[in-house]
Amino acid sequence: MFAKKHVAGYIPVAERIARKTLVHGTHTLMTEFVLKKDAVLPAHKHPQEQTGYLVSGHMFLTIGDEVFEVWPGDSWMIPGNVEHQAKIVADSVAVEVFSPVRDDYLPG
């Protein structure tokens, strides 16, 4: 699968947060998140392992009981079924990969 950059296709996740599935395969799915300043991604968990990379911006990411200050170039891994949340300090863009594929993130 190959995808060209396109401005369409973003889906609201929470207030001031949107996501777009970029590409997916049999075992992984890559998503871009656009997170606006002062947004809060509520605490949640899911069975998929999640790895991420902050492209731009600034946020605080809570994974389980640990809080991390995240800057561009930082990356993380969240095991499946571990609660996590984020507080966005500045407009940010993050790219995350989920495995196995999140069926709820598949396009269409």
Residue 52, domain CATH: 2.60.120.10
Where does the pLDDT of residue 108 fall: very low under 50, low under 70, confident under 90, or very high at 90 and above?
confident
Over the stretch 16-49, which tens digit does the pLDDT of each residue have?
999 999 999 999 999 999 999 999 999 999 999 9
Q: Does the pLDDT value for residue 89 go beyond 90? A: yes
Q: Is residue 2 part of a domain?
A: no
From residue 41, how far is each of 27, 36, 56, 83, 88 by CA, in Å? Answer: 25, 11, 17, 12, 8
15 within domain boundaries: yes
Please state, in angstroms and rounded to a whole number, the distance separating the CA atoms of residues 106 and 16.
21
User: Which has the closest alpha carbon to 60: 50, 52, 71?
Assistant: 71
The answer to whether residue 87 is domain-embedded is yes
Which pLDDT score is estimated for 37? 98
Position 4 scores a pLDDT of 95
Please indicate, yes or no, if residue 30 is contained in any of the structural domains. Answer: yes
Task: Give Cα separations from 59 to 8, 38, 88 (angstroms).
Answer: 25, 9, 4
Q: Does residue 88 belong to any structural domain of this protein?
A: yes
pTM: 0.96
Provide the residue range defining the domain that includes 30.
11-102
Quick check: is 66 in a domain? Answer: yes
Residue 78 lies in a domain: yes
The length of the chain in residues reads: 108
User: Is 83 part of any domain?
Assistant: yes
- Looking at the structure of the chain, the number of domains it has is 1
C-alpha span between 71 and 60 (Å, rounded):
9
